[in-house]
Amino acid sequence: MNSLSLAGPQNLHGAAAVKFSPSRTQPTPKFSPFTVNMSLQKDAPSIAVVGVTGAVGQEFLSVLSDRNFPYSSIKMLASKRSAGKKFTFEGVEYVVEELTEDSFSGVDIALFSAGGGISKKLGPIAAKCGTVVVDNSSAFRMDENVPLVIPEVNPEAMRDIKLGKGAIIANPNCSTIICLMAVTPLHKRAKVLRMVVSTYQAASGAGAAAMDELVQQTREVLEGKQPTCNIFKRQYAFNLFSHNAPVLSNGYNEEEMKLVKETRKIWNDTDIKVTATCIRVPVMRAHAESINLQFENPLDEDTAREILKNAPGVVIIDDRASNNFPTPLEVSNKDAVAVGRIRRDVSQEGNYGLDIFVCGDQIRKGAALNAVQIAELLL
């Protein structure tokens, strides 16, 4: 059985390579100025990180560094508010530049995480400049001309995209990535007919400011003060609530419908039945999901465990004797998605149903890592 080593106390934004706001965490450059930088190479692609000061932007840097992603240059882009801020990444000092329409000249790969509006406006402009955009927002996910890619699941969807020819590739929603990392290997064996997903989503999914607010509210509530409610407009500490995404006319919120629609697109299966309930819980980092599956073909739990044991990017934490199963803390700052509570669904006849519980760091595999893995497929 694979297992993750225990994470320490949850830090605010995890193991990002640099930090900007002193109110969040102090700068913690991973490399000293004397580190030999193996990633900076003359013939490698030039990169831009759009939204570099945000939760996902920070994680991009951490992942690029961890994976020795080769680059010849890297542009750090954010809003006017951050322009001029300086920081050290891999021993080199960078100045954050204001993102504009002219930011993409000579950029081979742009990792976007500055919100859907920015992606919609500047993604196509970047692609026109010859840049391959890997976009973390929902702006292009359901565009039929834009591949929606989880490298372990459907790398073939981006086979026509080549470095040097501008294009947009969409990163799926974090809940979808975490879910499909675990479910796709089972689907390939037994074909999922119906999937019921209930999520327990962390503050980090709503960005750096939401993480800050959860800390602030927790302190305020413990001190008997009124909690500050700027991001979610309600008490988050010591509470949970339906996901803050807008609620649609069918009663589902947008986050839930992303799970439905994106699964169909990624699996290229319009018949797959998916329903979801998405809940925001006061966890700092990493999402959890309870997933109920109904299969076309029988799949017993031992076979499912064996399949998941060999699935790329997945680890099993499923120790019934000591009641030890995946937790958000344990997967925080980790690449792998953890699966446990693997059991036959007693409400279904025979071996046609399974329940599983999944945890994944949604800033990492749910966003930055997945995007960098997409970029690696371009090399």
Ligand X SMILES: NC(=O)c1ccc[n+]([C@@H]2O[C@H](COP(=O)([O-])OP(=O)(O)OC[C@H]3O[C@@H](n4cnc5c(N)ncnc54)[C@H](OP(=O)(O)O)[C@@H]3O)[C@@H](O)[C@H]2O)c1
Minimum distance from residue 224 beta carbon to ligand X (Å): 30
Minimal CA–CA distance to 2: which of 293, 299, 328, 335? 335
SS3 (DSSP) at 67 = coil
Give least dist CB 13 to ligand X, A. Answer: 9
Which lies closer to ligand X via its Cβ, residue 200 or residue 295?
A: 200
Q: How far is the CB of 174 from ligand X (least distance, A)?
A: 4
User: In the structure encoding, which two tokens stand for residue 280, read together?
Assistant: 């925001």
Q: How far is it, in rounded angstroms, from Cα 255 to Cα 244?
A: 9
Nearer to ligand X, 29 or 115 (CB): 115
Position of minimal CB gap to ligand X: 54
User: For residues 179 and 259, is the Cβ–Cβ distance under 8 A?
Assistant: yes
Q: Report helix, strand or coil for 51.
A: coil
Pick 84 or 350: Cβ nearer ligand X: 84
Residues 6+ apart with CB under 8 A from 92: 37, 40
Nearest distance, CB of residue 283 and ligand X, angstroms: 12
Sites of contact with ligand X (CB under 6 A) = 51-57, 78-79, 81-82, 99, 113-116, 118, 136-137, 174, 204-205, 207-209, 362-363, 366-367
Closest CA to 361 of 315, 340, 330: 330
Residue 373 DSSP class: H
Closest CA to 185 of 355, 369, 362, 309: 309
Q: How many beta carbons lie within 10 A of that of residue 247, not counting itself?
A: 13
**For ligand X, which is the closer residue by CB, 173 or 351?**
173
Is 229 labeled as catalytic in the residue annotation?
no
* Helix H or strand E encompassing 254: helix 254-267
| Catalytic member of 174, 179, 278, 359 | 174
Active-site residue, selected from the candidate residues 13, 187, 243, 287? 287
For the CB of residue 285, give the shortest distance to ligand X in the complex, in Å. Answer: 9
Question: In angstroms, how far is CA 88 from the centroid of its own chain?
Answer: 24
Q: Which residues of 107-128 are buried (b: 16+ CB within 10 A; e: fewer)?
A: bbbbbbbbbbebbeebbebbbe
Cβ distance to ligand X smaller for residue 205 or 326: 205
Dist. CA 104–CA 253, nearest whole Å: 34
Nearer to ligand X, 99 or 197 (CB): 99
Angle of the 55-66 helix axis to the 208-222 helix axis, nearest 10:
110
Q: Which is nearer to ligand X, 30 or 85 (CB)?
A: 85
Q: Which two tokens stand for residue 236?
A: 């988050």
Helix (H, G, I), strand (E, B) or coil at 349: coil
Q: Is 278 a catalytic residue?
A: no
Smallest distance from the beta carbon of 124 to ligand X, in angstroms?
A: 16
- Residues 93 and 60: beta-carbon distance below 8 Å: no
Name the minimum Å distance from CB 267 to ligand X.
20
Catalytic residue numbers read 174, 287
